[in-house]
Amino acid sequence: MLLSTTDVIQGAVIDSYLGIVTAEVVYGSNIVRDFFAGIRNIVGGRTGSYESLFEEGQKKALEELEQRAQRLGADAVIGIEIDTGTINVDQSGVLLLITATGTAVRIKN
């Protein structure tokens, strides 16, 4: 399965567009991670724990996107965009949301 952020695949002809596919990954708050991120916010610098979390989340979102495209019979997903956001649960925390969206296509052989 080819995953691409571009709308075309060089050297390939798209046989059919199978539809938009999306995948979502949601992570809950973590007291330890939030505590250390809060310290980083005060003293400055990068927050490795959150960077790792987003890296893992993007990987999982792309894996899920691929699986959903395969169920449609796709060879590739083009025009992929990854978005991140938060969902406010209550005063005690938020959920981290990572979404991947693209167009599932079948390529001519």
Residue spans per domain, the chain: 2-107
d(CA 20, CA 79): 10
Give the tokens for residue 79. Answer: 């025009």
SS3 26: strand
Please give the model's pTM, rounded to 2 decimal places.
0.79
Q: Rounded to 5 degrees, what are φ and ψ at 8?
A: -130, 160
Q: What is the pLDDT of residue 36?
A: 46
- Per residue in 46-69, pLDDT (tens digit) is 556 667 888 899 999 999 999 999
**One CATH from 3.50.50.60, 3.30.470.20, 3.10.129.10, 3.30.110.70 for 2-107:** 3.30.110.70
